[in-house]
């Protein structure tokens, strides 16, 4: 935009020539003020400005120094999706809170899954990578690892020698299901987020579970089923609807679940976004939450405590997850470290006990 007719950028050498001095001195004027007399430096800087010098070329400097001052972030999902997902945003916020004081920039790398090449990863000029929530055996992950830069994987299946940050999804999900069971719900419905990378939406059967590749979606599902088994409920009698992780996914999944006989009295949503969709579906059907339908989410995004009824959910430390990942990367320990963050069931207004006869008590 600015350079209508780029007249060949001015370089350090041009300035040196114009002043009849050496490149080194000009370089020092920019990078090591103490290495030359103030007035000389003054003159050099003035000349540089007059000649329209843009400052030392970052790429060239980089080739010498090797220090980029940026870390790459790779999301499994598309970027527009990531920037619309409160969970991903909170994660980025955590990364940013560590990067900013460290004067480190954040390179958000698109994957462009459809294409053949992953060259955005190969071309990324960064000191290290954070990989967020990629499926098992992912080409992008392999590409990142191949760069041989310091890397931290978040919410991914463990890879030997690579640091990781995660939560115990299975245990957390079990707590959510156990909560509903404790409230005497026996007819549950589950809304699952994507179990693998294939756009499938619909009912989840054993076959589908067996071929799941998104580790934390699978773990949450297993956690739900753990709780049912412990309570003597047969998980196979609990319908599971898989949807893309958006509010509208939760909406249609809920309609499908509530259409069944016997109708579920409670819904386990694998994310708060799905749970919010479930809430809207109940509203549309004229069902009171929690009196006629209990809903439990997962994540505890900011909206969970802002909507009415406030959402009962599993809190995971979203912002902290990003901060920990960034710290792990920047501090670059000798040994890979696996951090597991704690979760907590947050009881709010969207879940309530059920009576013996299937109605609800308070």
* Structure token digits, residue 293: 């339908």
Nearer to a copy of itself, 306 or 357 (CB): 306
What is the C-alpha to C-alpha distance for residues 226 and 211, in angstroms, rounded to an integer? 19
Nearer to a copy of itself, 235 or 277 (CB): 277
CB of 14 to DNA, least distance (A): 8
CB of 142 to DNA, least distance (A): 19
Greatest CA separation found in the chain? 95
CB of 231 to a copy of itself, least distance (A): 34
Nearer to a copy of itself, 20 or 115 (CB): 115
Nearer to DNA, 119 or 359 (CB): 119
Crossing angle of helices 12-19 and 23-31, rounded to 10°: 120
Nearer to DNA, 64 or 308 (CB): 64
CB of 202 to DNA, least distance (A): 45
CB of 296 to a copy of itself, least distance (A): 20
Subset of 50-109 contacting DNA (CB under 7 A): 56-57, 60-61, 63-65
What is the C-alpha to C-alpha distance for residues 31 and 65, in angstroms, rounded to an integer? 12
CB of 329 to DNA, least distance (A): 22
The residue among 293, 245, 290 whose CA lies nearest residue 270 is 245
* 3-class SS string, 136-170: CCCHHHHHHHHCCCCEEEECCCCCCCCEEEEECHH
Q: Mark 8-37 with x for binding to DNA (rule: CB under 7 A) and - for no binding.
A: -x-xxx------xxxxxx-xx-xx--xxxx
| Host H or E run for residue 92 | helix 86-99
The partner in contact with residue 11, picked from a copy of itself, DNA, none with C-beta cut-offs of 5 to 8 angstroms by kind, is DNA
Answer yes or no: are the C-beta atoms of 185 and 354 closer than 8 Å. Answer: yes
According to DSSP, residue 68 is labeled -
The partner in contact with residue 13, picked from DNA, a copy of itself, none with C-beta cut-offs of 5 to 8 angstroms by kind, is DNA
Q: ω before 309 within 30° of 0 (cis)?
A: yes
Q: Which residues bind DNA (CB under 7 A)?
A: 9, 11-13, 20-25, 27-28, 30-31, 34-37, 40, 56-57, 60-61, 63-65
């Amino acid at each position: 935009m600015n350079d209508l007719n780029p007249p060949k950028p001015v370089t350090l050498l041009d300035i040196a020539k114009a002043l009849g001095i050496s490149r080194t001195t000009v370089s020092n004027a920019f990078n090591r003020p103490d290495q030359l007399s103030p007035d000389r430096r003054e003159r050099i800087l003035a000349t540089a400005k007059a000649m329209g010098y843009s400052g030392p070329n970052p790429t060239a400097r980089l080739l010498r120094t090797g220090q980029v001052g940026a870390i790459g972030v790779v999301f499994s999902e598309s970027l527009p999706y990531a920037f619309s997902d409160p969970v991903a945003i909170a994660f980025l916020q955590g990364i940013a809170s560590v990067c900013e004081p460290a004067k480190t920039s954040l390179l958000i790398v698109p994957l462009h899954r459809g294409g053949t090449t992953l060259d955005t990863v190969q071309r990324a000029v960064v000191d290290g990578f954070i990989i967020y929530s990629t499926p098992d055996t992912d080409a992008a992950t392999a590409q990142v690892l191949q760069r041989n830069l310091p890397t931290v994987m978040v919410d991914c299946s463990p890879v030997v020698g690579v640091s990781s940050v995660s939560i115990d999804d299975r245990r957390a999900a079990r707590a959510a299901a156990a909560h509903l069971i404790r409230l005497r719900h026996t007819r549950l419905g589950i809304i699952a987020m994507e179990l693998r990378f294939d756009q499938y939406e619909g009912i989840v059967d054993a076959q589908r579970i067996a071929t799941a590749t998104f580790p934390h979606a699978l773990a949450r599902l297993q956690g739900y089923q753990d709780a049912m088994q412990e309570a003597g409920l047969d998980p196979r009698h609990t319908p599971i609807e898989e949807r893309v992780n958006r509010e509208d996914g939760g909406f249609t999944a809920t309609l499908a679940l509530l259409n069944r006989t016997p109708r579920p009295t409670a819904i386990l949503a694998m994310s708060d976004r799905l749970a919010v969709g479930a809430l809207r579906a109940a509203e549309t059907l004229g069902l009171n939450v929690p009196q006629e339908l209990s809903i439990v989410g997962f994540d505890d995004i900011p909206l969970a405590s802002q909507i009415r009824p406030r959402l009962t959910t599993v809190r995971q430390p979203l912002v902290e997850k990003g901060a920990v990942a960034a710290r792990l990367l920047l501090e670059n320990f000798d040994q890979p470290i696996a951090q597991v963050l704690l979760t907590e069931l947050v009881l709010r207004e969207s879940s309530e006990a059920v009576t013996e006869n299937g109605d609800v008590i308070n």
